[in-house]
A and B are shown apart, each in its own frame.
Chain A
Amino acid sequence: MIQAILVFNNHGKPRLVRFYQRFPEEIQQQIVRETFHLVLKRDDNICNFLEGGSLIGGSDYKLIYRHYATLYFVFCVDSSESELGILDLIQVFVETLDKCFENVCELDLIFHMDKVHYILQEVVMGGMVLETNMNEIVAQIEAQNRLEKSELLAWGL
């Protein structure tokens, strides 16, 4: 099961924070900070798996992360998930973002935080992997966006 998905930039500013287990707000922020510190220490050419910090869970949890340009994508998972599979999943997620936003960059994530959440909801649901086929995900997102657009037009907003 995936416990949390965090996206933050090279300075630790959170761009996407999604927890699939309940933590109080202060703990959530602490986890983001702690994860950032752990991941920042990592060199670029060492492996993408980290034994997790103490806050987010005991010895069963791992952090699997990927560094893209200015952003870190971190998935905190337990031992039932395949590590290489999750690495693939991060790739799928980023590629989907790329397709939806056309050459996605950090600014897109900043200004369209809600849309990023909606895309993520199509990939991971309740801490479990829902869909890995990029085309399906993009098709769904586009359908939902069309729906929203037509509603907003109807209401004149």
Chain B
Amino acid sequence: MVAPSLKLQDLIEEIRGAKTQAQEREVIQKECAHIRASFRDGDPVHRHRQLAKLLYVHMLGYPAHFGQMECLKLIASSRFTDKRVGYLGAMLLLDERHDAHLLITNSIKNDLSQGIQPVQGLALCTLSTMGSAEMCRDLAPEVEKLLLQPSPYVRKKAILTAVHMIRKVPELSSVFLPPCVHLLHERHHGILLGTITLITELCERSPAALRHFRKVVPQLVQILRTLVTTGYSTEHSISGVSDPFLQVGGHSSKTMTNTSPLSSTQVATNTDTSRNAGNAVLFETVLTIMDIRSAAGLRVLAVNILGRFLLNSDRNIRYVALTSLLRLVQSDHSAVQRHRPTVVDCLQETDASLSRRALELSLALVNSSNVRAMMQELQAFLESCPPDLRADCASGILLAAERFAPTKRWHIDTILHVLTTAGTHVRDDAVANLTQLIGGAQELHAYSVRRLYNALAEDISQQPLVQVAAWCIGEYGDLLLEGNCEEIEPLQVDEEEVLALLEKVLQSHMSLPATRGYALTALMKLSTRLQGDNNRIRQVVSIYRSCLDVELQQRAVEYDTLFRKYDHMRAAILEKMPLVERDGPQADEEAKESKAAAQLSEAAPAPTEPQASQLLDLLDLLDGASGDAQHPPPLDPSPGGALVYLLDLPCAPPPPAPIPDLKVFEREGVQLNLSFIRPPENPALLLITATATNSSEGDVTDFICQAAVPKSLQLQLQAPSGNTVPARGGLPITQLFRILNPNKAPLRLKLRLTYNHFHQSVQEIFEVNNLPVESWQ
């Protein structure tokens, strides 16, 4: 045997003694050589020490794979010391991708059935950390036996191992389901904690388990109650308690709503918030209230608790409060609005995590009434925020401006401000959006071009701004030189100044090739707009005929030719551009739809052929309309237009209709009714509200309704109120159809329903007969 090996402590001393990285490597390499030799010699007495050293070295980042077999030998040894290190090594070095890991299965089996408690604990720990699917299947019976052992130490470990096994091998759920209810009767907190995790995992995997556990909900609430009312023995039992509340609440629905409000308020009022643990429980309470379908009063209570947390001096609390409010803002918008000032204050935080959350929440809180104030705050934030948040902030502001802009001028101002402050961080389509917006607002042409000219004169480095400004100056240069604009101070702009500015842009090294292209085209357009002669422009254009950039060169040559040979056509070619339709997204949507239809017909196997062709039939009827519920097009700010797009905001309920309602579908208790309204101010418009109700014993889920009308009509489907109708007269789903029928063509309507009912998926396609004549005449 070589010289007596170092103890772990001594090795560490040596490594720390090394002054440089190279020295450290040397020490470690020498020691690893010793270790390898010792492993080869097979010395059983010191093996555990060698492996411990190897694990240390592994943590520092050095290779340690040659220790894998030694782990196996150590685990198989009978001494606790050996097993301890061996199992640790297995957890750190082995993984399911190496075949070697299967070899420890037998050792684990022996240890689980015959070992003393600490050994059983070690084995379970290893199994839950690196157990592969095969190992889990082999060892499931052993673990199951251990679940019912008297010792709480082993049981709690066995429970968590069971959770890991279910994650790896979902079929084992059936094995571990029966003991759960029994385990809930335990008083030991560790066991309860583990059991709750196990039940959560089971419920997530299978709805059958969920039903099974719904029965134990009252029991869990009881546990919670006792813990709350009798006070806390150790502060950390609280963290264990917060779990039953959250997890179960998240999964059960109606059964919970009756019993939990009482518990929620009790917990909320009794919890001592001076300790962090108390706050944690309160948060979990709030989250549970959000997850289950609570009464409105309870939800307001939750929001108020979160609002209180926002004012807390502890930043962690504020962070969690902001995160939770973000989750709530979709469903309880008005309640969260009340805390808007506090949220906006959080924007000023120096803490990056907090300000990011505050930004997200602020953007979610913008609506049409507070948009001006919020935009001011957000723009102020944009100027001072850290660079990684700039892009998000800029795009958020632009999106919100698109949705809620009160006037066009305000919209243009806002975009302009964003471009000047954070020009380099905006999305690529911002330029296109702005040019289109300006183009559409004829009354604001003079205003926009002046503002842009001023901005450009100050700073030519922000590329999106320069591009838009160049385009505007080109298009509306004549308005710029007129000098009259009542909205901003009159400014005398000289022709020469304008040309000089554009030339500056062209020559600047900061300008991108695309920007140069814009500037060159603008110069060309100015040749028709300006009064003076075009020598200067012709000069610049001819210089660029030999530019290295191919695009610029091509443009310059074309423009030059325009001057020389086709001068008579120049004015006509360079006229003002007509308004560009927002084609882009629309064209994409139509392409997507036709692709989807093509894929459906190709990929569908024989039995689903008829459905696919029926879908195609529906799409035929849909030709020209703006699409069915599956492909909502994006929101378009441009006003009017014959095509209407889906709106995000819910529509107000239509006024009572004189046209009688029509029941169009009934099957096993599920009914679909249509009600019709023709608003008097718009005779071509027909509003149909489809209501789906459920009087059966089973829930209806994933309910989707699609509709199609003949080509001469236009159909728009708004988003349904939901896609689930609970059993026995639960909340129905309503969906609004807007039909434009300017030619008063006879109304035909074809509907396609798909939903899940009594664990079967149902699909129905039918044409609606007996449509009342008043709906289209």
Contacts and interface: CB of A to CB of B under 8 A. Distances in A.
A129 B241 CA distance: 13
Contacts of A43: 350-351
Contacts of B193: 129-132
A75 B81 CA distance: 29
B80 A85 contact: no
Nearest to B10: A111
A143 B118 contact: yes
Given A22-B95, A114-B88, A49 B319 contact: yes
B80 A83 contact: no
B340 to A, nearest CB: 21
Interface in B71-100: 79-81, 84-85, 88, 95-97
B603 interface: no
B424 to A, nearest CB: 23
Interface in A1-52: 14, 16-17, 20, 22, 25, 29, 43, 45-51
A126 B239 contact: no
Given A92-B236, A144-B118, A110 B125 contact: no
B153 A140 contact: yes
B197 A128 contact: yes
Given A121-B125, A125-B157, A144-B84, A133 B12 contact: no
Interface string B117-130: 01001101100111
A113 B55 contact: yes
Contacts of B712: none
B755 to A, nearest CB: 30
Contacts of A101: none
Contact of A84 (B128, B164, B189, B279): B279
B81 A133 contact: no
B353 A46 contact: yes
Nearest to B284: A82
Contact of A83 (B58, B118, B124, B316): B316
In this complex, the member of B9, B63, B79, B236 whose beta carbon has the largest number of chain A beta carbons within 10 angstroms is B236
Interface string B425-464: 0000000000000000000000000000000000000000
A113 B52 CA distance: 9
Given A17-B59, A121-B125, A128-B163, A133 B190 contact: yes
Nearest to B78: A151
A111 B8 CA distance: 8
A29 B239 contact: no
A68 interface: no
A48 B316 contact: yes
Contacts of A118: 84, 88
Interface in B149-173: 153, 156-157, 160-161, 163-164
B277 interface: yes
A25 B63 contact: yes
Contact of A147 (B96, B118, B240, B284): B118
B242 A22 contact: no
Nearest to B65: A25
A134 B236 CA distance: 9
Contacts of B129: 20, 125-127
A106 to B, nearest CB: 11
Nearest to A26: B61
Contacts of A29: 61
B244 to A, nearest CB: 13
Contacts of B12: 110-111
A157 interface: yes
A117 interface: yes
A148 interface: yes
Given A82-B284, A113-B55, A157-B45, A130 B156 contact: yes
A136 interface: yes
Contacts of A148: 80-81, 84
Contacts of B353: 46-47, 49-51
B83 to A, nearest CB: 10
Contacts of B16: 110
B457 to A, nearest CB: 39
A130 B190 contact: yes
B125 A82 contact: no
B537 to A, nearest CB: 50
A63 B372 CA distance: 36
A22 B96 contact: yes
B9 A111 contact: yes
Contacts of A71: none
B56 interface: yes
Contact of A131 (B80, B156, B242, B323): B156
B169 to A, nearest CB: 14
Contacts of A85: 239, 242, 280, 284
B194 A130 contact: yes
B80 A151 contact: yes
A114 B237 CA distance: 28
A132 B316 CA distance: 21
A143 B122 CA distance: 14
B60 interface: yes
A100 interface: no
Contacts of B277: 88
A47 B357 CA distance: 12
B315 interface: yes
Interface in A75-134: 82-85, 87-89, 91-92, 110-111, 113-114, 117-118, 121, 125-134
Nearest to A92: B236
Most buried by A among B16, B80, B239, B350: B239
B163 A126 contact: yes
Contacts of A126: 125, 128-129, 160-161, 163-164
B354 interface: yes
Contacts of A51: 353, 356
A127 to B, nearest CB: 8
Nearest to B88: A117
B55 A114 contact: yes
21 contacts: A17-B59, A25-B63, A29-B61, A46-B315, A47-B319, A47-B353, A49-B320, A51-B353, A82-B242, A82-B280, A84-B283, A84-B320, A88-B236, A113-B56, A130-B157, A131-B156, A132-B236, A133-B189, A140-B118, A143-B118, A148-B81
Interface of B: 8-9, 12, 16, 45, 52, 55-56, 58-61, 63, 79-81, 84-85, 88, 95-97, 118, 121-122, 124-125, 128-130, 153, 156-157, 160-161, 163-164, 189-190, 193-194, 197, 234, 236-237, 239-240, 242, 246, 276-277, 279-280, 283-284, 315-320, 323, 349-354, 356
Interface of A: 14, 16-17, 20, 22, 25, 29, 43, 45-51, 82-85, 87-89, 91-92, 110-111, 113-114, 117-118, 121, 125-134, 136, 140, 143-144, 147-148, 151-152, 155, 157
Given A49-B319, A118-B88, 14 more contacts: A17-B59, A43-B351, A47-B318, A84-B316, A85-B239, A85-B242, A111-B8, A114-B8, A114-B52, A125-B160, A126-B128, A132-B190, A144-B80, A157-B45
Top 4 A-B residue pairs of the complex, sorted by shortest distance between their CB atoms: A126-B128, A46-B351, A47-B315, A84-B280
